[in-house]
């Protein structure tokens, strides 16, 4: 088979393959993350990364290989592209706060830690807003009964 002599980053099925259009300034999602709506932004990013066969760089499936491993250089290059994509799809304030992490995975985990959690007061405020929703002159409970 012809792919047996190719490096890991030279065949399109490889997670280390970078298509010529995979530049570091790709906006993967329609809106940069600014601190609100993390769940939607996260889901959109995951779909985009999966479509490019790069999700494993943030979910831990493709950990950093040993420097002597044949995939090491390709992994470094893909990790740097992933970091660039993450930074480019974040608001500048958030981007600066994660700029010095070494791996895309570290950035992803930091964002998860900071933004995936809904605090008690946030949850209370959301529940209160939901209970105050009306349809015309009826509240939600009256509207659906």
Instruction: Count the residues in the chain.
Output: 145
The Cα–Cα gap between 57 and 143 comes to 47
pLDDT digits (tens, 9 = 90+) for 74-126: 999 999 999 999 999 999 999 999 999 999 999 999 999 999 976 667 667 77
Residue with tokens 């008690």, as numbered in its chain: 120
**Domain chopping of the chain, boundaries:** 22-117
Nearest CA to 58 among 46, 66, 69?
46
pLDDT tens-digit map of 4-53 = 665 666 667 788 888 777 767 677 887 899 999 999 999 999 999 999 99
Distances in Å between the alpha carbon of 56 and those of 37, 43, 78?
A: 23, 15, 11
* φ and ψ of 86, to 5 deg: -60, -50
| CA–CA gap between residue 99 and residue 115 (Å, rounded) | 17
Give the three-class secondary structure for 41.
Answer: helix
Backbone angles phi, psi at 27, to 5 degrees: -90, 105
- Quote the pLDDT of residue 15: 84
């Amino acid at each position: 088979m012809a792919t047996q002599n190719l490096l890991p980053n030279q065949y399109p099925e490889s997670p280390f393959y970078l298509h010529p259009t995979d530049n570091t300034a790709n906006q993967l999602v329609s809106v940069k993350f600014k601190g609100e709506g993390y769940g939607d932004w996260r889901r959109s990013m995951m779909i985009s990364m999966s479509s490019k066969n790069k999700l494993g760089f943030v979910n831990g499936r493709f950990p950093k290989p040993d420097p002597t491993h044949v995939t090491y250089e390709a992994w470094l290059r893909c990790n740097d592209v992933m970091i660039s994509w993450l930074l480019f799809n974040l608001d500048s304030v958030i981007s600066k706060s994660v700029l010095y992490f070494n791996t895309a995975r570290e950035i992803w985990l930091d964002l998860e830690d900071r933004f995936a959690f809904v605090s008690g007061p946030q949850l209370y405020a959301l529940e209160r807003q939901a209970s105050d929703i009306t349809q015309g002159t009826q509240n939600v409970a009256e509207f659906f009964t």
